[in-house]
Chains A and B, each alone.
Chain A
Amino acid sequence: MAKILRINMNDLSYKWEEVPSKWETLAGRAFTSTIVSEEVDPKCHPLREKNKIVISPGLLAGTKAPSSGRLSVGAKSPLTEGIKEANAGGLTATKLGRLGIRGIVIEGMPKGNDWYSIIISKDKCEIKVTNEYAGLGLYDLTTKIWKDYPNKPGIIGCGIAGQRLSKAAGVFGNNIENTDPGRYAGRGGLGAVFGSKRIVTIITDDSEGKAPEPKDSDKFTESITKLREALRAHPVTGKLKDDKGKPFGGLANYGTNILQNIINEAGGLPTRGFKSGRFEGAAKISGEAVHEIVDKTREKFGDSAEGRYGHACHPACVMRCSNVVPYEDTGKHHVGPLEYETAWALGTNLGIDKLQDVAELNRLCNDLGLDTIETGNTIAMFMEAGVIDFGDGQAAIELLKKAYDEKSIEGRLVCSGTKSAGEALGVTRIPVVKGQALPAYDPRPIRGIGVTYATSTMGADHTSGYTIAAEILGVKGKVTDPRALDKAELSRAFQSTTAYIDSSGYCLFIAFCILDNDDGFAGMKGSVDAFLGKDIDVTEYGLAVLKKEREFNAKAGFTNADDRLPEFFYTEPLPPHNVTFDVTDEELDMVYKDL
């Protein structure tokens, strides 16, 4: 029977609760958003006592379902002041699933200046003072923890940025090998909520755990087999090489950063602070470039080379879109993974085309505990304001390094989020919605994603309704020609399906396969149904999650007027297509009209 672990940081106590029957089908995002909406005061200060952190492994985490080990972290966001769910791979979801823990709810905040860690194992929880874990870079911290806890635990928590309550702070997670803290539930400043509760890490040891049991094991096995086969056979999600030994799976070979070139060619790649849709240096920092440097360093350094593609972000992953970028001169691990969003935020958007500079900026973010998308956009504000120049990688690295110095105002500002920094620096082109910075697709030529940015409950967030799949990549799902389709309808369809997938534990990227493959879709739905012993309607389940999130945001004070893009997207045409964002307010309001 799955349990809830409820931790009270006011008096440093905890208790185990049964999952109430009304929450029986909830996990992942559905679980975190339900608890936040039912238990957190929408008007509360997100970095004080009344906020709660809710952590939940997706429903199927810890089972053998392919690519099902995703983790949701929820709270009221200090960045958006609305509800937030951030999602990541890593080890912790799988381990929590194997311990039979549906969710962790962390309430209150302690008195005094101590820093704590929460240590979880089979039926056990310890809230421990770990002042020696605070103030460390996260590469050192994760290495130290695996020495202190030899059972190779999952680790999540906050770094220096979160400990200082900076709004660009993400929740880090260790990778499978513990060589990088780069598995981030990055968005919305949730690292700062950890910091506000004076929690540095949550350490999960599943050595006495076991895979959770589905209600209908035969149907479950049949469904996950169907899904696994569909994923493996698909050219996006499939295996590294085909039967003839040629590169096959796009994600396995080139990672998410396979998108750098296609979005660039489509003219929708935001360049130098959203001033152009094409970046002349895109190819140099693309997924293809990472593939090449990995191959090159492997050839040169042999077995000691640490660069990787086709790397799994969590134990059950079959798509393996993660990677490790090596140092070119030694072949050793520089940073992993370098994702599309990060290569864009810390590269393209800053006009930086040197892969090693982008990798270094990514490593610094991982070490400091920062969301790369928010931080890249924040550095762009410094460039927009003329403090440093677009394209100057070394200046960007020096600026970000100031964040290690707690007395440095520039260091604090570079961790404070795009909106805060942009306003402090006198910038008027600040690319945020509900306080959260835009990701790697310009909403002017790619308008469906603009509708998602504007209307998402999460602030500007591509993953919450990834219309790019239909608009650019030709993955249609049930929609017909996406260019003819109503953008609001498209965005809503993607937003609701996403909320379901974010709750199942499956990685969102299975969508590239299942939306075009009936067997894959049946495998996904069948496995969730067999696990719960219920027939769950995908769209209804997703819409119910969105409804709770919208209600929370409404009570927090959000109205339709917050579902808009910043003014410059409506007034400044973006080259090369020279278009503005022309979706009307009425169309935007259609997305949630009857919800």
Chain B
Amino acid sequence: MKIRVKLYATLRAHAPKNTDIGEEFIIDVDDNSISGVLKNLGIEEELAKIVMVNGTRVVNYGASLEENDLVVVFPPVGGG
């Protein structure tokens, strides 16, 4: 299943080389849960503090994704 992904901040290191800030890329996963996507990207779950699916935060990483969903992953961030 094809999933669209955006990675920010320290997690950008897990994106394909030369991906621009805020640019989405596509991955092909067998396990269509959020956990499966994170595993595919090589991101430890505890560092994937905020996951948004199509703009809404999801806290259950077992949740299933659908073809072409946009998954945005942030590490723990703070500021203001």
Contacts and interface: CB of A to CB of B under 8 A. Distances in A.
B77 A262 contact: yes
A266 B52 contact: yes
A473 interface: yes
Select the residue from B22, B49, B57, B78 with max chain A CB neighbours within 10 A.
Answer: B78
Select the residue from A237, A246, A283, A577 with max chain B CB neighbours within 10 A.
Answer: A283
Interface in A277-300: 282-284, 286-289, 292
A234 B74 CA distance: 15
Nearest to A513: B78
A254 B78 CA distance: 10
Interface size class of A (residues with CB under 8 A): 35 or more
Interface stretch (A73-81, A310-318, A363-371, A461-469): A461-469
Interface in A28-47: none
Contacts of B21: 261, 283-284, 286, 288-289, 292
Given A235-B75, A321-B79, A288 B12 contact: yes
Given A246-B13, A283-B20, A286-B22, A256 B79 contact: yes
A340 interface: yes
Contact of B78 (A236, A284, A286, A462): A236
A579 to B, nearest CB: 12
Interface size class of B (residues with CB under 8 A): 20 to 34
B78 A251 contact: yes
Nearest to A508: B80
Given A266-B55, A283-B20, A247 B80 contact: no
A576 B70 CA distance: 15
Contact of B47 (A235, A265, A462, A475): A235
Nearest to B72: A265
B55 A259 contact: no
B76 A235 contact: yes
B38 to A, nearest CB: 16
Interface in B25-55: 47, 49-50, 52, 55
A234 B49 CA distance: 12
B64 interface: no
B48 to A, nearest CB: 11
Interface string B52-69: 100101000000000000
B76 A261 contact: no
Interface of B: 6, 8-10, 12-13, 20-23, 47, 49-50, 52, 55, 57, 72, 74-80
Interface of A: 234-237, 246-248, 250-251, 253-259, 261-262, 265-267, 282-284, 286-289, 292, 321, 340-341, 462-463, 466, 468-469, 472-475, 508-509, 511-512, 576-577
13 contacts: A246-B13, A253-B10, A254-B77, A255-B79, A256-B79, A259-B79, A262-B8, A262-B50, A283-B22, A292-B21, A321-B79, A463-B80, A473-B77
